Amino acid sequence: MSDGPTYGFDTLQIHAGARPDPATGARQTPIYQTTAYVFRDADHAAALFNLQEVGFIYSRLTNPTVAVLQERIATLEGGVGAVCCSSGHAAQIMALFPLMGPGCNVVASTRLYGGTVTQFSQTIKRFGWSAKFVDTDDLDAVNAAIDENTRAVFCESIANPGGYVTDIRALADIADAAGIPLIVDNTSATPYLCRPIEHGATLVVHSTTKYLTGNGTVTGGCIVDSGKFDWSANGKFPSLSEPESAYHGLKFHETFGPLAFTFHGIAIGLRDLGMTMNPQAAHYTLLGIETLSLRMDRHVENAQKIAAWLEADDRIEYVTYAGLPSSPYHDRVQAQYKKGAGALFTFAVKGGYDACIKLVNALEIFSHVANLGDARSLIIHSASTTHRQLTPEQQEAAGAGPGVVRVSIGIEDADDLIADLDQALAKATA
């Protein structure tokens, strides 16, 4: 497909990055289950290794099936390039890797996926990096947390475990003024509901495991670059602006301009960290993305109905869904998330921890799993599972207190889902 900025989302989700297979004419993107690619001659090989020519060398770096997915996601997000990797968590490390060094920190929202809180508060310390967690609605606190060693601000658009949506524009303005990039995890919103780059984000990360694949088959991640950040402006990002010793002195920003981050992600990140997406996973995710907008519309419609039903039920303490008029974030949704507030939310059951456990056990259509963004409806009691490693204060700050369950509303019949919740709530609160 030729580049056509005039194509709509529904067209791009099927066609962007793909063309009939040049060898066979196959219309669907083949799974290139292949490791290495023959060089035309020794000069061609040298040009590829010098990054003077773009092509395929070895599938730890680039693979034809994965390349289609990269271009598809970059297009849907409105970025200039993307790097896919083996999981969402890999994408987060890959996003931070070119920016950080020992002694550097990232200012991160308190409202994040539980695994991200653990990755940022514990594991990245082994690299000499650290995270400072702040309430991203308190813009003064965000400003105050940024110091001379801060290299990024990190948030989720629609935040896990639910009910919160971020004012991306406000955070982007703060990051901009500090000369650092804003990284937005857009997993729960997907580019159909929110395109963070349009609101000022520099980088977008995804767990493609979730809505982009949409069927619970493979794990994957992706980093999309807006191409808009000036990596050479203030000397804070030497991996991109200075000669790279791990690449015979190449200056990525000077050489590749807006594609510097993407090239660095492949030539250094995937080459040396090796968190590569496999072609089979890319294939499943490409199939999923073809129906992204259709699924997201149904996810949102169902979530809206079910959240309203729960809110009106007297066995429920409260529902945190930003699509409800009662949500403090309802206006923000109208402004920045026009197609809806996603399908992820939490609700508190009267009866607390014990009632939540009974509810989860009694549901029949909803599956009790540590996942989200599946076609199937899912439920989890965060405090005893995904957010178990967090302190009680961190659990509350993340919206995952002991009396709360999180649902990821699927695309089944809304009436069936409501009936299932109704019977399980009867048992949980009897």
Shortest approach of ligand PLP to residue 91 CB, angstroms? 7
Region binding ligand PLP by CB under 6 A among candidate stretches 86-94, 100-108, 165-173, 275-283: 86-94
> Residue 5 — φ and ψ, nearest 5°?
-65, -10
Q: Does residue 70 bind ligand PLP (CB under 6 A)?
A: no
Region binding ligand PLP by CB under 6 A among candidate stretches 42-50, 96-104, 185-193, 331-339: 185-193
Q: Does residue 239 bind ligand PLP (CB under 6 A)?
A: no
Q: Which of 110, 118, 150, 219 binds ligand PLP (CB under 6 A)?
A: 219
Does residue 178 contact residue 155 with C-beta atoms inside 8 Å?
no
- 249 burial (CB, 10 Å; 0-12 / 13-18 / 19+) is exposed
Q: Does residue 190 bind ligand PLP (CB under 6 A)?
A: no
Non-local CB neighbours of 100 within 8 Å, separated by 6+ positions:
106, 127, 129, 151, 152
Q: Does residue 207 bind ligand PLP (CB under 6 A)?
A: yes
- Tell which positions 354-373 bind ligand PLP, by CB under 6 A: 372
Non-local CB neighbours of 421 within 8 Å, separated by 6+ positions:
306, 309, 310, 363, 366
> Residue 244 — φ and ψ, nearest 5°?
-95, 110
- Closest by alpha carbon to 225, among 75, 337, 67? 75
Region binding ligand PLP by CB under 6 A among candidate stretches 39-47, 53-61, 113-121, 303-311: 113-121
Q: Which of 68, 77, 89, 237 binds ligand PLP (CB under 6 A)?
A: 89
What is the size of the binding site for ligand PLP (CB under 6 A)? Answer: 17
Q: Does residue 377 bind ligand PLP (CB under 6 A)?
A: no
- Helix/strand/coil for 84: strand
Does residue 363 contact residue 417 with C-beta atoms inside 8 Å?
no
Q: Does residue 98 bind ligand PLP (CB under 6 A)?
A: no
Q: Does residue 187 bind ligand PLP (CB under 6 A)?
A: yes
> Contact residues for ligand PLP (CB under 6 A)?
87-89, 113, 115-116, 156, 160, 185, 187-188, 207, 209-210, 219, 221, 372
